Amino acid sequence: MKFNLEAMRRNKINNKTNAKFNLKSLKGYFLGGMCAVLAVLSIFMTIESATCGTEVSEIQKKEALLMSQQQDLQEALVSNLSVNSLQEKSGELGFTKISNLVYVAESVPVARLPGIEVGQ
- 3-state SS record for 2-66: HHHHHHHHHHHHHHHHHHHHHHHHHHHHHHHHHHHHHHHHHHHHHHHHHHHHHHHHHHHHHHHHH
* Residue 97 banded pLDDT, cuts 50, 70, 90: confident
Written as one letter, the residue type at 11 is N
User: What pLDDT is stored for residue 5 in this prediction?
Assistant: 62
Between residues 56 and 6, the one the model is more confident about: 56
Between residues 9 and 68, the one the model is more confident about: 68
What is the H or E stretch that residue 67 is in? helix 2-80
Instruction: Give residue-wise pLDDT tens across range 42-94.
Output: 999 999 988 888 889 999 999 999 999 999 999 988 887 787 778 888 888 88
User: What pLDDT is stored for residue 1 in this prediction?
Assistant: 47
